Amino acid sequence: MAITTIHLSDELQNRIAIAARRRGKSPDSLILEAIAEKLAFEENNSAFYAEADRRYAAVQASGGTISWTRMRERLEARITHDASQPPKISKNG
């Protein structure tokens, strides 16, 4: 296991100690948990943006889009459970 040294302000260190005590954890375990949660968030966020970029590139490559009017009609139809007609994709929206 690697050891990393970080410098915390007195105020932050005090807040960590209070939060750890409140949760029945050591400050070290609370810090490790917070780091793991932040990394998971960043990894998920990165995957989300990568997927969004991939989809946007596909839309740009195809030139096909759905106009807001058509999409709104489709969404309203889905609310009323009329999912029989998918929206038409066109290059002009």
**Is the residue at 19 inside a domain?**
yes
Q: What is the distance, to the nearest Å, from the Cα of residue 26 to the centroid of all Cα atoms in its chain?
A: 29
Query: Which H or E run includes 70?
Result: helix 68-79
Q: What's the average model confidence in pLDDT over 49-61?
A: 93
> What's the chain's average pLDDT?
89
pLDDT at 83: 57
**Is the residue at 78 inside a domain?**
no
Closest C-alpha among 46, 35, 88, 36 to residue 66: 88
**Is the residue at 72 inside a domain?**
no
Q: What's the average model confidence in pLDDT over 33-62?
A: 94
Which residue range(s) make up the domain with 39?
A: 10-62
Q: What's the average model confidence in pLDDT over 49-54?
A: 94
Distance CA 30, CA 15 (A): 11
Inter-residue contact 47 to 64 (CB < 8 Å)? no
**Is the residue at 83 inside a domain?**
no
pLDDT at 26: 97
